[in-house]
Structure 1
């Protein structure tokens, strides 16, 4: 039997002094909790003391302007900001630091759209205006850039152990580069318009269990391939009904192969299981905390729970984090948590 959980309205838990926004609405079991949002350095750094203000003056508040892509690694959140003048915000949760990273001179960026940080702490930044992917080492020194030879129009990047996958919205394909020398290796799909595997406007990309997931804004669906480019499946379709997509952008996959899809038109995130069945959705047009305002990117993170556990309703355990970038509104980066009841609470037999 298949169980599908649908939600467009959150449950507000008033058991504590602070209202908690939890999805889906009753009587369904809680799955997602909105935890907090980050919109400026004030949401990250420690409050400045009166003594510090008197000695060095009041610290400048650094805002997140118009975030698009984001990535979390080793306690740091990297945010591509299309209104920052060619730069990123880097938030260090461990040290409670908030900084701008804006390369200068010949290494400057123009319109950084998405980014990825690999296990060696190398930063890969997609610049859709300069039509290249720039690479910076762990000290954030420029290493190289690639993509111009293939005349790409890159929109997203994902890095594996040996390869770099770049979604190319200009050439309707996924380009694959060698991680050692950044040389082009192959592309996919090698097909024509009208074929079910064809990409009409690939936007975002993620890889899980050797499967490449691509959000295709041109066809309003998500296409899945092997890392070698063999077409496997399509999830959802263009449409304005539940389970359909209008403007699919950011995508992420959890450890159970559930697919999270940002729809910038519905301004929500829809969750599909491995079979392509809709499990639930959350968010919605912005009215209050937990809602979204032109969302672009979603990322799932299992490794940095300790920084956000304080926001979790005590009746639940936090399984992983869900980061969402909003281009407009008061909550530029919203943080949600996948939750399950604690051992003290009643555990539903129905779970995804």
Structure 2
């Protein structure tokens, strides 16, 4: 039988301590709750906001939580699985974020809808990745992963099952590719050129470029993308520029150049284009992303070195897509901000690795 409090006898020497505790409890203040940080815009006020930083993902802890805080209190927090170590590239499809990690040598999948995390199912056996450098989806939802060590591009279907590996072992070292129309436009960093492969067989269709710094020549080509105009855009990293070419390899224009002025590059890496033809280029040394209009004129930049919120740390991969209907992203939008494009920028280290930025439409009013 448990005795009632009124029947308990307290030792005399405990009474002063009890009185002190009661007096302290009466004077205790509620813990201070820090206000949530406000929206982060680029350019900063008072200029009209065109880009908003939404948040970042570095591990499953940054995803929507499928369990409540009370469940975590009772059962304990879920085990931390699949944190990023050194990511290089990311892409979002159907609410799932696919991330290449160069240390883990695999593709990690984060579900932004359910909070689940896992590995690419087909990353085993013949589909085993050895050095995942970059990834891209085609219109059918097939996933292409450039593997420099395997000297191949590995293809997985929309469910993540391995389909085939295509490449020219001993002849090319692919670090990025752009699938389109049954072809793969491949950055071959070994011979400093662009190769065009048949996407089904890997057979060489054509190749263009060579090591150099002239028009149509490359030094360490690292990223390639197809623009809405049908032309190729190549990050010519070692020459500190982006080159624009026809799909047949005819030189059209250059964007950027070596320097510290706005519009120049120090070490350009990831690139992408939106449907209006704007070019986005991530610079690892500047730790920012610069946006250029279709004529190659600088519009603005965002990001910047840390440790502030929305900073970038050795950004490598970049992807641009139409604004998706993803609750995890939508709930982070500032009131009145109307997004048209989502830009994903991958930092190789730091607190925020896969970073999400919303880009407003041209005719959207500033919030």
> Is TM > 0.5 for Structure 1 vs Structure 2?
yes
Partner SS state of residue 218, structure 1: helix
**Equivalent in the alignment of 1:205:** 224
Residue 160 of structure 1 deviates from its aligned partner by 0.8
Taking the aligned partners of 1:152 and 1:146, their CA distance within structure 2 comes to 11
TM-score norm. by structure 2 comes to 0.83
Q: SS in structure 2 opposite 1:232?
A: strand
Q: CA RMSD in A?
A: 2.3
Structure 1 residue 340: Cα displacement: 5.3
Q: Distance in 2 between matches of 1:185 and 1:233?
A: 24
Residue among 295, 299, 310 paired with 1:290: 310
Whole-angstrom CA distance in 2 between matches of 1:155 and 1:36: 27
CA contact (8 A) 2:90 2:354 kept: no
Query: Which residue does the alignment assign to 2:341?
Result: 320
Higher percent of residues as strand: 1
Partner of 2:42: 23
- Aligned with 1:130 (options 136, 140, 150): 150
Spell out the pairing of 1:62-73 with structure 2 (5 A cutoff). Answer: 62=81, 63-73=83-93
CA 53–196 in structure 1, closer or farther in 2 if over 3 Å, else same: same
Report whether the alignment pairs 1:187 with 2:207: yes
Higher helix share: 2
1:144 and 1:137 mapped to 2: Cα distance?
10
Offset of residue 310 of structure 1: 1.1
> Which digits, 9 at most, give the CA deviation of each residue in 1:12-70, with x for residues without a partner?
xxxx9531110112332111110111111122242424558867x75221212211011
| Unmatched 5+ stretches in structure 1 | 1-15, 348-352
**Structure 1 position 194, deviation (Å):** 4.8
Task: Verify the 8 A CA contact 1:315 1:342 in the aligned structure 2.
Answer: no
Per-residue CA deviation, residues 271-315 of structure 1 (Å, 9 max, x unaligned), is 111111111111111121111111111111215143312111102
1:330 corresponds to which residue?
351
Show the counterpart of 2:111: 92
The answer as to whether partners of 1:74 and 1:303 remain within 8 angstroms in 2 is no
Q: Which is greater in Rg?
A: 2
| Aligned-partner SS, 1:148 | coil
- Counterpart-to-counterpart distance in 1, 2:254 and 2:72: 56
Residue in 1 that maps onto 2:176: 156
**Which stretches in structure 2 are left out of the alignment for 5+ residues?**
1-34
Query: Conserved in 2, the CA contact under 8 Å of 1:309 and 1:318?
Result: no
Q: Match of 2:124?
A: 104
Cα 1:194/1:295, change in 2 over 3 Å? closer
Structure 2 CA distance for partners of 1:206 and 1:30, relative to 1, 3 Å: same
